[in-house]
Amino acid sequence: MLDTTQRFHRPALARIAAAAVLFGGISLASGCKMPFHLHREAKVAAPPKPVAPQQTAMLPLDLTKVQPNEAGMVPILEYHDLVASSKVSGYQYPAASFRQDMEWLYAHNYRPISLSEYVQGRIDCPAGMSPVILTFDDALKGQFYYTPDGKIDPNCAVGILDDMHARHPDWPQKGTFFVLTNGDPKLPPAFYQAQYAQGKMDYLVKEGYEIGNHTIHHLAGIRHWPDTKVEAEFAGAVKNIQAMLPNYDVNTLALPFGVYPKNQKLVISGESDGMKYHNLCALLAGAAPVRSPMDKDFNPYRMQRIIPGTEKFAMKYWLDWLEKNKSEKFVSDGDPNTFTVNTISSGKLDPAKIAKNHFHLRTYNGTTVASSK
């Protein structure tokens, strides 16, 4: 029997330290494309004429009640397997602790948003709330599991998130599952129940979650591969996902172990055996919050994540840091088409990028709007 631990587990502190170095020395750029959706085929008499994107009217905002900071930082949380044990071991995390994490986030005014919406700047989060992005790697048993009676295990990630939404209707069912499918016969089936794999994928999409690319074989050796093999790995994963979700737009990528191929442009797009792929973003393995998508230095292809735990640069460290440093925390204005920020922090944002994406920019001093356009 294959020992899969070498593929899925590695010392957390080593990864955190390496990513922390990366956080301080990234060469950053920007760029994003089309939004997340599940494409549906439709017959049309003729293709419609291209229509230039139009700017949506800015929503009103009461600055006496909400002080937005849309130049702030957002945590992307990275989870793997959830287990019944009360101890953190490798990438196994207690289900009870995950439930506590979600309740803590809710109590501290975080609300989940989708990854693809975030990288495109359309942050659909209520006014005064802070976005958080939930991600799950490897399609493991503790993420989505059916009990023998055919019900979702209440202690798997999906069961806990469904319960959160049922008890807190303002907690959206959003997150991204970076899956390993059946492309490598040596690896377990998606979510460890082959007979339910396709049904689980369909359930996730219908409920509002996203499915992302995590390659076929989950190997760190990709850094040494020739371009053709890298493209086959990325495109093949898209093909395997679309075999379960026909026409699904797979446009987000989590690099196994945070390792890039030699030709980093292939992270953005490529083609193999007739299958094209294009990613809106690429996620690393740690270990800090990400910048606002309209920040001058935001790079969607080098987005860091935060693993759960109490170590330095793990989840507790960063969430506590954001609570203590309120000026660094992203706070939404409730308008997905407007970026609102106080004049002190406005220099972090890129007005040209905001205009190019047909968003509004609003700045304020205290309770008075300083400018809006």
**How far apart, in Å, are the Cα atoms of 120 and each of 134, 293, 363?**
17, 7, 21
CA-nearest of 281, 292, 329, 335 to 124 is 335
Alpha-carbon Rg for the chain in angstroms: 20
Which are the contacts of 251, defined by CB distance < 8 A and separation ≥ 6? 33, 34, 36, 116, 278, 279, 280
* CATH placement of domain 10-26+74-325: 3.20.20.370
Which residue, chain included where needed, has tokens 């501290």? 108
pLDDT attached to residue 8: 40
Q: Give Cα 363 distance to the centre of its chain.
A: 27
3-state helix, strand, coil in the chain (%, to 5): 30, 20, 50
Average pLDDT for runs of 10 along the chain of length 373:
36 42 36 31 38 76 98 98 88 96 98 97 97 98 97 98 98 98 91 96 98 96 97 98 97 97 98 98 93 98 96 96 97 98 97 97 98 93
Helix (H, G, I), strand (E, B) or coil at 232: helix
Cα distance between residue 158 and residue 213, in whole Å: 19
Q: What is the pLDDT of residue 285?
A: 87
Beta strands in 97-241 (DSSP E): 110-112, 130-137, 176-179, 210-213
Amino acid at 322: L
CA distance 188 to 209: 22
C-beta separation of 135 from 76 below 8 A: yes
Tell me, what's the pLDDT at 53?
57
Q: What pTM value is reported for the model?
A: 0.86
Residues 6+ apart with CB under 8 A from 149: none
Q: 254: helix, coil or strand?
A: strand
Single-letter amino acid code for the residue at 88: V
Pairing between β-strand 338-342 and β-strand 360-365 as defined by DSSP bridges: parallel
> How is the chain split into domains, by residue range?
10-26+74-325
Q: What is the pLDDT of residue 368?
A: 97
**Do the Cβ atoms of 241 and 250 come closer than 8 Å?**
yes
CB of 224 closer than 8 Å to CB of 262 = yes
Return the pLDDT at 124: 95
Question: Rounded to whole angstroms, how far apart are CA atoms 161 and 175?
Answer: 10
Q: What was the pLDDT predicted at 54? A: 67
Residues 6 or more apart in contact with residue 22 via CB below 8 angstroms: 258, 284, 302, 304
Strands (E), the chain: 76-79, 81-83, 92-94, 110-112, 130-137, 176-179, 210-213, 252-254, 269-272, 275-278, 281-283, 338-342, 360-365, 368-372
**Rounded CA gap, 342 and 362, in Å?**
8
> What is the distance between the terminal CA atoms of the chain, rounded to a whole angstrom?
62
Tell me if the bond preceding 96 is cis, omega within 30° of 0: no
If one counts every other C-beta atom within 10 angstroms of the C-beta of residue 40, the result is: 6
Beta bridge partners of 211: 177
Whole-angstrom distance, CA of residue 133 vs CA of residue 167 = 20
